[in-house]
């Protein structure tokens, strides 16, 4: 941490082999996250999307955790709460990567954001995705709340980040007062919740079942975990029963999940 935010941000860029400009060339925030995740997994980090303890009945709220990192030298892990907005996943991934570089296992989102290490990791992720120089160019002078959110939404899309991150960064840069930020943050969250519910309702009306269980499960586990299990089973060092525990599925689902059937 004594080396500073910029040094660690540059180290993460070097590890991933990607710049902010390349990140932003992806078609949307989810695609940009997929690029970051792929680069992190290629570098040896397991990146999982987990938002419950096995079913929707045990969903873990984002207020409890947005993500956590296990700073193990052999198998470094990052887990992201997929109940959070997809546009927020990249920030969480970069925040947790900063934890791994520091060798600091920890949970993000459920603790005090003002803790020194949490603030440092937030600043690293923020500098990668959205440097202060860009935020300071955003002018909200004379705009009402709806107009402010429209401007924030436009920049969030262009920068492939969440609206909440843009709003918070504007507050940090002094472009929004604390009270203005709190009000906008609450309104943005309310709109996101309504948008998410609307998407679910439309899917039900279309009677769309969405992607299959295995497609969803593969996406949540990530290619690094799937490849590890696949190779270990091929080598005979991982039995189907143990693979099921590693992958969080029933034994009979291991082969279809790994497309080995």
Measured CA distances, 171 to 141, 166, 184, 257 (Å): 13, 9, 10, 44
Angstrom distance (rounded) from CA 215 to CA 151: 35
Strands 106-108 and 77-80: unpaired
Q: Confirm whether pTM is higher than 0.75.
A: yes
The pLDDT tens digits for 46-97 are: 999 998 776 666 778 777 888 999 999 999 999 999 888 899 999 999 999 9
Cα torsion 181, 182, 185, 187: sign: negative
Confidence of residue 261 (pLDDT cuts 50, 70, 90): very low
The pLDDT tens digits for 194-230 are: 988 887 777 777 766 667 888 889 999 999 999 999 9
Measured CA distances, 18 to 9, 10, 12, 25 (Å): 11, 10, 9, 11
Can you read off the two tokens belonging to residue 218? 């593969």
Please report, rounded to a whole number, the percentage of residues in the chain having pLDDT higher than 70: 93
Residue 56, pLDDT score: 65
Domains of the chain: which residue ranges?
Answer: 1-129, 131-208, 213-257
Q: Which long-range contacts (CB under 8 A, 24 or more apart) does 41-46 make?
A: 41/222, 41/223, 41/224, 43/15, 43/16, 44/76, 44/224, 45/76, 45/77, 45/78, 45/97, 45/100, 45/224, 46/75, 46/76, 46/77, 46/78, 46/222, 46/224, 46/225, 46/228
| Mean pLDDT for the stretch of residues 229-247 | 92
Beta bridge partners, 173, equal none
Question: What residue spans of 79-212 are helical by DSSP H?
Answer: 89-102, 116-129, 132-135, 145-159, 163-172, 178-205
Beta bridge partners, 80, equal 49, 67
Cα first-last separation, the chain:
48
């Amino acid at each position: 941490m004594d080396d500073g935010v910029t040094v660690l941000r540059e180290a993460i860029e070097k590890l991933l082999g990607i710049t902010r400009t390349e990140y932003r060339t992806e078609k949307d925030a989810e695609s940009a996250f997929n690029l970051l995740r792929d680069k992190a997994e290629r570098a040896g980090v397991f990146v999982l999307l987990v938002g419950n303890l096995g079913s929707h009945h045990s969903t873990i709220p984002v207020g409890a955790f947005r993500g956590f990192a296990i700073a193990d030298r052999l198998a470094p892990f990052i887990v992201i709460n997929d109940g959070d907005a997809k546009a927020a996943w990249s920030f969480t991934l970069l925040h947790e990567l900063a934890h791994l570089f520091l060798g600091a296992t920890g949970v993000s989102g459920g603790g005090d954001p003002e803790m020194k290490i949490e603030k440092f990791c937030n600043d690293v992720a923020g500098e990668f995705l959205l440097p202060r120089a860009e935020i300071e160019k955003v002018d909200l002078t004379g705009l009402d709340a709806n107009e402010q959110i429209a401007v924030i939404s436009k920049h969030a899309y262009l920068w492939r980040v969440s609206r909440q991150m843009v709003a918070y960064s504007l507050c940090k840069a002094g472009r929004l007062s604390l009270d203005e930020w709190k009000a906008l943050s609450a309104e943005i969250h309310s709109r996101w919740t309504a948008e998410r519910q609307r998407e679910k309702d439309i899917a039900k009306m279309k009677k769309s079942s969405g992607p299959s269980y295995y497609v969803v499960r593969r996406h949540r586990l990530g290619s690094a975990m799937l490849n590890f299990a696949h190779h270990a089973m091929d080598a005979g060092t991982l039995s189907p029963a143990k693979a099921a525990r590693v992958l969080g599925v029933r034994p009979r689902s291991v082969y279809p999940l790994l497309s080995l059937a």
